[in-house]
A and B are shown apart, each in its own frame.
Chain A
Amino acid sequence: MNWGGAGEFFAMGGYGLYVWGSYAVAVLLMGAEPLLARHRHAEARRAAARADEDETGELR
């Protein structure tokens, strides 16, 4: 175990800004990207379901 407590852990030996500044952006981007990808997939599925309605009554 490296740390005496939570305070020491977040201080990162004085390099807190640099270490957490790196990890925060990594977590943010790698959290956002799957959400965006999931949204795009849902949109594509919805558009595909709608393509049905556009086509009712006449074949492409």
Chain B
Amino acid sequence: MDAGLRFFTFASPPRFYALSGALLPWLWAATALFAAAGLYIGFFVAPTDATQGDAYRIIFIHVPAAWMSMLLYLVMAFWAAIGWAFNARLASMVARAIAPTGALFTFLALWTGSFWGKPTWGTWWVWDARLTSELILLFLYLGYMALVTAIDDTRRADQAGALLAIVGAVNVPIIYFSVKWWNTLHQGATISLTAAPKMAQTMLTAMLLMTFAFWAYAFAVVFMRTRSIIIERELHTEWVGALTGRVGGRGSRT
């Protein structure tokens, strides 16, 4: 009837399953291309940093991973909220599919940060605002995952998870602005980094290319997981039956 109704019709699990399946090869191709270009520029074009030597090259995975960890949390909370408010099944499934990837990027941001901190700050870990709030983000992801798997009733689990995700979203601006609000060892926002212009340019290019690669990777792997969740939840429906050859002869791909 109205546009809103059509939107939800389009977001039906069978359509999403087919569409995301068609997009997957392109997303993986984009991941490979952006990563190859980013790593080439990052290691062979961008020069050695005057103060940090070659240790700074960790930035090409550290900053994209940290950005993705925060972005994915907000996207997860958004879809969890949509799923809760409108009882939109697919939105709740997407929220669940995002959590492990978000946790992975959060862990990577912490790990690479630790390996960067040791040579530059002289310590693997310090309880400062940026690092601690990022660690809390990891616990929020893990808590969300534990909560939704602990509740057997799928709808109730999605609702409880949505509540946790929404409340936890307050942590994201805290992470982002922590370097401004508190005295911290961590440097300020990377994008406004003021180094010698020429050097910053190639570094920035490599970092942005790696960010695109991580972005495409996140889309691809979240789509893969959403497709699994769709099948798991719609096991007995006719369209899944047709997909696997249960209904209407031989199974079809994608």
Whether A and B are associated in the same complex: the answer reads: yes
Binding site for B on A (CB under 8 A): 1-3, 9, 12-15, 18-19, 21-23, 25-26, 29-30, 33-34, 37-38, 40-41, 43-45, 47-49, 51-52, 55, 60
Chain B CB count within 10 A is highest, among A3, A21, A37, for A37
In the complex, the chain B residue whose C-beta lies closest to that of A27 is: B61
Which of B3-11, B160-168, B227-235 lines the interface with chain A? B227-235
* Shortest Cβ gap from B47 to chain A (Å): 6
Contact A2-B47, Cβ < 8 Å, known A18-B55, A44-B228, A49-B245 = yes
Contact A33-B55, Cβ < 8 Å, known A2-B47, A15-B119, A48-B240 = no
B residues near A21, Cβ cutoff 8 Å = 115
Q: Please report whether the interface of chain A is mostly helix, strand, loop or mixed according to DSSP.
A: helix
- A22 contacts B111, C-beta separation under 8 Å: yes
B208 lies within 8 A of chain A by Cβ: no
Contact A37-B244, Cβ < 8 Å, known A18-B118, A47-B235 = no
Binding site for A on B (CB under 8 A): 43-44, 46-48, 53-55, 57-58, 61-62, 65, 100-101, 104, 107-108, 111-112, 115-116, 118-119, 217, 220-221, 224-225, 227-228, 231-232, 235-236, 240-241, 243-246, 251
- B44 contacts A51, C-beta separation under 8 Å: no
Complex CA distance for A22 and B115, rounded to whole angstroms? 6
Partner of A51, one of B54, B58, B116, B235: B235
Chain A CB count within 10 A is highest, among B58, B101, B108, B220, for B58
